[in-house]
Each structure stands twice: as structure tokens, then as C-alpha cells.
Chain A
Amino acid sequence: MANSLGIHIYSHGFDYVVLEGTAKRYSVSSAGSVAFSSSDVEDVKSIAKRIAEISKGFKGNQICLTLSSAAVLNRELGLPFSNRDKVAQVIKFEIESELYHLDIEDVIVDFFELDDGRATSTMSVNALNKTRLQTALDICDAASFDPPLIDLSISSLYSALKSLPGDDVNDQEAYLHIGAECSQLIVLSPGGQMCATRTIPQGWLELVRGVKSPDQEPVEVEENTDESSEEEEANESSMLDLGGDSSIPYGFSFDEALDLCSAADRSVFTQSLEAELRRVLTALNFSGLPLYLLGAQLPGLAEDLSAGLSMQVSPLDLGVTGPNDTVPNAEAFGAALRAVGAEALEMNFRQEEFRYARGIERIEGPLTWAMVGLVFYFAFGMAIDVKLSQQKSADASVIYARARQKVQRLNEQVINTDDYPDEWIIKNDFSANDVPVEEYIHLLNRQVGKAKDQLDQLMGEAAIEMPQSCLEAWRLLMNHIEVEMADYQGKWMIESFEFTSFNKSANEPAHVGVKFGITIFPDSSGQLIGRFDRLQRNLEAQDFTTGQVRIPSTEPASVPEAKTATVEVDILAVNPNLTKKP
């Protein structure tokens, strides 16, 4: 359940009401009145401390502060239109002539429409002194809350009256609320709308006007009256401006005031109030209306007023009670109702420089400058980045142009050389390609790579197994034989060579089959035995041979003592470091 707090602050204290529930269904969970001591009103913090005890735990939008209508200037103003927004635009200019004794910039003006039965709209305009409003807001600030609504007690009283059950009023009715420092008269039209209002500057505090304040120490009468009067003036000037009459002593509750005052004081109060009422009702031409009394219930007041004014006067109970059957203050109750969203007169004095600012509004100024700073920061950073990008783009373009020129020179060589095939021309114009400019060099690199692959394919042996070269086999064989026979003293000669290259098969690797005839003469000692065997054995031990080396037979050569043989050997005519014998 939502909670709302209504606080009515006036010069000598404050009233509060805490409501639980909604505008239509609620209950008073707490209510009370607090009287300020004379020391309280000299310091914002003292008042704030007292209010903070009550306002603690309430969020800003759950609080409505209502200020006393005493010392608020009220004028009625006729206007040809009643739209609130339009009236709000002109009201300050319209009322300025009425408040000729004030600087219009020193007051906050708000209004509500009166249902006075006239053809034109009549606005009840209220001008609240900015100093007083600032004081109230300072108190709230010190009490650590920020009320979005600041109303007047006359308006809060209207909200409280609207909570009364039954709207079927057939005739005008007048309500008199007797407050602490002033009394408020409200006349409602048959439709229940505000018809007329008056603030009578006479509250129940008048009963203790001559009584000493409970916290006031007895002061010896000094001879020098001039000095004492100066001190009083100084004290008055140091007091907070919350309206009301600061000459009335502080610190009295209504019950204490009733106890302290004499019957004569009450009689004087009643007569004075009666006179004021008569004057007001006559001026408003509302004589004879039923009058209901709210607020301070002075014993016998209704009867006295009824007799004196010759009209029906009766006390009115709003029908709400707080804990321990306390009767909540009607103005604070009305303010609490407004905080919870009940019907109200829509006045709110948080205007102009006192406008209520939620969340972001409070940091709007710094945020605006921060945003300006951010915009400049980002924009400046963007400008630098764009400039650098342009520079790098230009550098990249120059590099691409040079690479293209290099390829172009190569192409011109192809064009100018007759025996160069045309397919060797490398494509270097990519303007027709649907790719970003920065990708052109990649395409150019790919084209050059393609040309290289093309040449590799023409020249190279990469992907295919080549037949083995008989020339290489010849070289390997002869190198070995020359080394093998180097230490042989006798003569030897090659008779024939026959090389045949074989492709790789299932049983054997690619190799060169060699048959060569060799004739060996005996050495100086006439020895020849074992030379062919040695040749066969050593050949077989070579890395470049594979399989067995065969010498089918040795035969006598045509020359005496020499022998000849045909040697059959398979040679791996590749780099021996890559292919080792198993």
C-alpha cells in the first residue's frame, strides 16, 4: 500500500498526516501537530530535524507540503477564458497591476478558478513571497526530502472537504476552519466547486497572545527601553519567515492554549471572529448559508457564532481519525490526500526557479556540458581518424600504383618480345571488378602468383614423378668406377653402356637399369683374381644402387690375359641423400 505524507507548516508549528492507501481508499496511520519553540524558528535545522523524524522513509513524490495562507496575497481576477495553461501564461502580467506595492518578480503566483456563477471566469490568484517559499524549501532540504508539491492551506482544506461523503449538495455551503494562526472560510457552490474563499488572520493562537512562552525565561525590565526594543527587532529579523504573527508566543498547543486562556479571552476571540465573519459574509453576499466549523473546536463557539450571526453554525467532523482516535489536522490531511492523487485545486508553487526537478533535471546543466564535451571529443577524434585514414589510403594507393607499374613493365616486355606467348601478360586493371579499391593489390598479387604458378607448371616437376635420367645414372656409375679402379695398377676399359629408365612399379621404385661391359687387364704382378668380385661387392654397397649387382660371367677378352664381363646394376638416379637403401 502506498503511503503519503501531508505537512502543513505555519509560523508556530506544523501539522502532519500520514495516509496509507489510495485516493479513494485510505486510512490515517499517523497524525499530529508540533509546536515550535521560539528557538526552533531561528534555525532551519531545528525545524528540519523535527520534520525529518516524520518524513523519514517517504519518497519525494509522496509528500505534499502546504503552507499557511496567512500573509499570502489573494486577489480575484476576471478573465475571458479559463483554460489553465492559457491563464498560467498571462496570470502574472494580469495580476501585476493588482500587486502594485510588490515587485512581481519577488512572488510566485498561482491560481484556481472560482465557480461564482459569472459569465466570465473568475480566478482566485495567490501570490506567495519567494523568500517564504525558499525558507520552506530550505527546511525540506535540511530534512532530506524534496516535495514536488507545495500548496496553500486554503487549497489543502478544499481537498480535505472534497473527501466528505456525498456530493449532492443542493445549495451553497460555507466552511470555516479555525487554524492556529488564521482561519479559512470556504464557500462551496451547489456543484461542490470552490465558490469563494477568505483568509481571516485570526487563529486560536490569539488566545495566548498575552501569555509568556513556556521556554521564555523571565526578563528583567530594563530601564533602557530603546535597547530592549532593538533586541526584539533583531530577534524578529533572525526568525524564519513562515508567515503568521511572530509576536504571538511560541510553544503552545491548542489544549494548552485553552487551559491558559480565560473565559474573557475566549469571549474576546469569539466576538472578534464573529465580527470578521459577518464582514466577510456580507461582502461576499453569502449571509444565511449554513456554516460548518472545522479545526480548533472551541467550546461554545458554534452556538455563539450561530446566535451572533443569525445563521446555522455547526461543528463538522471530516470522519477520519488517526491512531488513538486523534483527529488529524484538516489542512495536513488535505495535503496528504493531494500527495496520494486526490482531487485538488491544482495549485503548485514549485515554479520558476523553484521548479521541482526529477533525476535528470537536477543534473541537466552538467549533463548538457558533458554532452557538449563528448560531442566535441568524439567529433574531434573522428576528424583526426578520418584525416589519418585519408593519408593512409593515399599511401596505399601510391604503393598499389607502383606495384601496377612494375607489372605493367613486365607486360610490356611480353608484348615487345616476339617469342613470348600472350598468355604471359598479367592482368593489372581491376577497375571492372566489383571489389573495394584497397583489395586491388591483393588481386594483383594473386595474378602475379598465378603467372608464377603457370611458369612453374611449364618448367617444374612438382606434382608428377619424373622418369629417372640415364645421364645422371651414367654420371653416378662412372664416378664410382673411377674411384673404385683408382688404386688398381692394371689397365681397364669400358666396352659398352646400355641405360634404360624404368618407371615405378608395384615391386620396385623408378630406376635406371644399366648394363655395361668392362675389360680388366692383370696388374704388374699378373694378378686379376677377385677384381670383378670386388667391383660387384662395392657397387652393391653404394647408396645409388638398388637390388643385386649381377655379373653373369667373366670371359677372356680378345687380348691375352685380360678378362671381360658385362655388369648389370640398377641405379637410383636421384639425389642419394634423399633415397636411402633399405
Chain B
Amino acid sequence: MTRSYWWLAVGSPVALLAVWEALSRTGVLDPRFFPPPSVILRLLVAMVDSGELLFHIGVSVRRVLLGFVLGAVPAVILGLSMGLARPVRALLMPVVSAIYPIPKIAIYPLVIFYLGIGEASKVSIVALSIFFLVLLNTMAGVLGLDRRYFQIARAYGAGPRELFTTVALPGAMPAIFTGLKLGMGFALIVIVGAELLGSDAGIGFLIWRSYQIFAIDQMYVGLLVTAVLGWLATISLDGLERVAMPWRS
């Protein structure tokens, strides 16, 4: 985006909200179904003040973060191994390709069956949903590397362990971050979904409960929070990417 168009980028959401506000206030849109943004915002502030909102956010964020680490770390290690070693790839690729396309939320009942309705199942479903994305991206990252990098490292004495740390991991880093960013989106989808299905806390639960008591404005607060969380996650991953890859500037 060039500099001269920033006002368009800021202006379009503001204009959308203004139109919504006007339509809702004048009754063109039924304010019971489409509460005006100002009402939603006031409710949001009230829910923050009461601590209710922060509690639910805390629960969801904790689940996502735990699940993220639990899914991404083994995915990176396994993805690097699959990229480096053909036998490992031959061994695991069929299984991975078979499980990868299954919508992870469809596995959720099974996960509940094994792990119960508590935190373990929520964290696991997040881990599962990002695991394959990070795994496949990491592997593709290693496979796409110039063979010359491996030759340089080997010619100067690197063994298999060092190829892992000096070539494969830093070389695949851009692809790993692509996987993490895609995974973050899926993690939010899956955690909210999982909380809708069976939970007593979290943003998904908040949205679901609001629906049951017909509190449409509260549902909008839940959606707004989800959107902001997604945006914050993207920003933090971008920041992390810059720190992790100082050679790309």
C-alpha cells in the first residue's frame, strides 16, 4: 500500500461503522438484531470493568497459546526431519496427507471422548489444528532450499545434527512463519468452535451463552474481541518474525 492511500484504509471501516450506526439508530435495521456500534462499544467497556470479559479472553488466550506451543514445536522438529531425510518423508507423508485435510473440529468429539471436556481437550484440538499446517510448511521450506547451502555446511564439517541447526532450521524459518500465521487463524477458528460446543468459559462460550439468552449485543462483543485477538496475533507474529530472522530486512 502506498502512503497516499492510508486514509482509504482507515476510512473504509470507519465509514462502514458510521453507516451501520445510522441505519440502526433510524430503525432501518432492527436495533434488536443489529445493535448500533456505540451500544456494543459501551457494553464492551462495561464487561471489561466487571472483569467478565477479561476472564473469558484470558481463558481462550491461554488455551490458544498452550495449544500453539504444543502443536508447533513437534511440528517444526518433525517437518525439518521430513525435509532432510527421504526415509522419514516416505514413512510419514501418507499418514500426514490423509489426516491433514480432515477438518479438525470434526475430530473434536473424539478428542472429548479420550480427554474429557476439560482444558486438555481444548488445548489438544488447537495443537492438532496447527500441527499439520506448520509441519507441511516446514517440510516444504527445507525442500525448497538451495542444495548449495547443505554443500557449504557439509564441506566445512557439519554432521547431520549441525545440518539441522545451521541450515535446515534457519533456512526453513520463512516457511515456518508462513505456517504459524496460517495456523494462528485456524487456532482461533477452532478454539471458538470448541468453546461453542462444550465449555463453561472462553470467548466461544460467551458468544454461545449470549445467543441462548438472546443478548445479541453481547454476541457482537464476542465477535469483536475475536477479531481484535486475531489482529493482535498477526502483529505479534510479524514482530516475532523480525526478531527471529534478522537477516531479512
Q: Do A and B come from one complex?
A: no
